[in-house]
Structure 1
Amino acid sequence: MTETPEPEVLQDAPHRTVVRVGDTVRRPTHPWSPSVHALLRHLERVEFPYAPRVLGVDEEGREVLTHLPGDSGADGWARIVPDDGLRAFARLLRAYHDAVAAFRPPPELAWCTGRAGLREGEVICHGDFGPWNVVWDGADPVGLLDWDYARPAAPAHDVAYALEYAAPFRDDEECLRWLRHPAPPDRRHRVEVFADAYGLDSTDGLDSTGGLVDAVIDVQEQTATLVADLAERGQEPQRGWVADGRLTELRRRAAWSRAHRHLFA
């Protein structure tokens, strides 16, 4: 008889515990998990290699996904500091958007925002495309994690969300202390590198650096609104974030971006 491997705790936070059991990962479900599972099954059908596969729900009610080996979490910040890593990050996002373009979720499936259905020009965005959710093998991205905040939106939403962290839309002190930059970044250059690697052109409606910068600031403000909404609905970790002052911090970051727009465009 094969023994069940001992669980390895991958994340132990107040709002969720994520464990690895052998080659699987067990995570708590949400009311919108059926929608996320439909998305992941589509990505499996189109052979998108970077997403985990859905294996079902275990006896404790946790979703069971395949484990994606590699480095993730805080290690991801250093990977996107060099231009080559930044380009790889952008190309991964484009590969996802290409893979999801044909996905038409059943109309009854709602997402973390409560919305169901797709409007003209929308896809199911990843919704949390940051370097911490990418799995890396050295300088190469090999996986994409944490699909809980997937939602209907224009692809530009994911682009702007990613750029907030890739440019980054943060002051020099935070870039040096927390985001692994060895010197203050040339933010405009990084926006241009990301846009070129993703393949933005005039058909995306974000064909200028200025348009991208405004889109990032809009997404920062939308994220603060979404956090406030999820907290009000009792969802974690958003409720804890609001209690800890995180919502104020999100709004402060958007205000900083507006005041320092000249650094990016």
Structure 2
Amino acid sequence: MPEEEVLQDAPHRRVVRVGDTVRRPMQPWAPAVHALLRHLESVGFPYSPRVRGIDEQDREVLTYLDGRSGPQSWIEVAGDAGLVASARLLRDFHDAVAGFRPSDELSWFTGRTAPADGELICHGDFGPWNVVWRDGRPVGLLDWDYARPASRLYDVAYALEYFAPFRDDDECMRWMAHPRPPDRRRRLELFAGAYGLTSLTGLVDAVLDVQQDGIDQVRRLADLGRQPQAAWVADGYLGELERKLAWSRDNRHLFE
């Protein structure tokens, strides 16, 4: 076995790179995610990792996507070009996944199975940290654990929380690489337009709904003993999420 490079070393999830592959612990919803990734490969979607099987330590094996991601991605989306490119990436993914019809036997992290009418399988965690960048353009999309049946609007609203972003000025400049307080309404319009939305009606409410859904999901998974959600709740993270939602509600005028 080639040498392992540790990418993440959380108690619940040790992620390593081995050559041109990434090895991660299997999750209960991994079969569903693997079916999704195999569909994306079959239709030629170039941004998703490819499934390469299960190794002798019962870890999933995915192809490694080389580039800047995680904290390094914030600066890539602070400007208009990265913002627009990210929205188009999300639209490309939705168009690629639209024909995917998962088996009713597959279960996603939400526990739900097949998408309802008008739904598809969303990425579920489309934030800047999960986009891989090279030479100023997105080349990959990481971390599919939270893929789930939902409407396209779910992914758009989830993304807008971080791309607009629905955060105060201090957090935007300290943590999100904005050189000055962002024009949130303009960024929301740019992202929505690049994605292909023809109306902004209800979009701010959709972001608030997704923020509330995130709180509910963390609480539900923590109650089931899932990690990292159980640790988040123990550390008081739910209170932080609730404060962020309260800020969004109090400052929705910045987006409308």
Question: Taking structure 1 as the reference length, what is the TM-score of the superposition?
Answer: 0.95
Consecutive unaligned residues of structure 2, counting only runs of 5 or more, are: none
Paired residue for 1:224, among 199, 215, 224? 215
Whole-Å separation in 2 of the counterparts to 1:81 and 1:211? 24
In the alignment, is residue 258 of structure 1 matched against residue 249 of structure 2? yes
Whole-Å separation in 2 of the counterparts to 1:179 and 1:117? 35
2:31 partner SS: helix
Which residue number in structure 2 is paired with residue 241 of structure 1? 232
Instruction: List, as ranges, runs of 4+ consecutive aligned residues in structure 1 with deviation greater than 6 Å.
Output: none
Paired residue for 1:29, among 15, 26, 30? 26
Identical-pair percentage: 66
2:140 partner SS: strand
Map of 1:26-175 to 2, 5 A cutoff?
26-175=23-172
1:108 partner SS: coil
Whole-Å separation in 1 of the counterparts to 2:108 and 2:242? 24
Aligned residues: 256
Whole-Å separation in 1 of the counterparts to 2:62 and 2:101? 22
Whole-Å separation in 2 of the counterparts to 1:127 and 1:38? 16
Whole-Å separation in 1 of the counterparts to 2:249 and 2:11? 33
Whole-Å separation in 2 of the counterparts to 1:152 and 1:178? 30
Whole-Å separation in 2 of the counterparts to 1:67 and 1:262? 41
Shift of 1:5: 2.1
Whole-Å separation in 1 of the counterparts to 2:146 and 2:140? 17
Consecutive unaligned residues of structure 1, counting only runs of 5 or more, are: 202-206
Q: What amino acid maps onto 2:248 in structure 1?
A: S
| Deviation sequence 1:185-215 (CA, Å, 0-9, x none) | 00000000000100112xxxxx12x511111
Two-structure CA RMSD over aligned residues (Å):
0.7
1:74 partner SS: helix
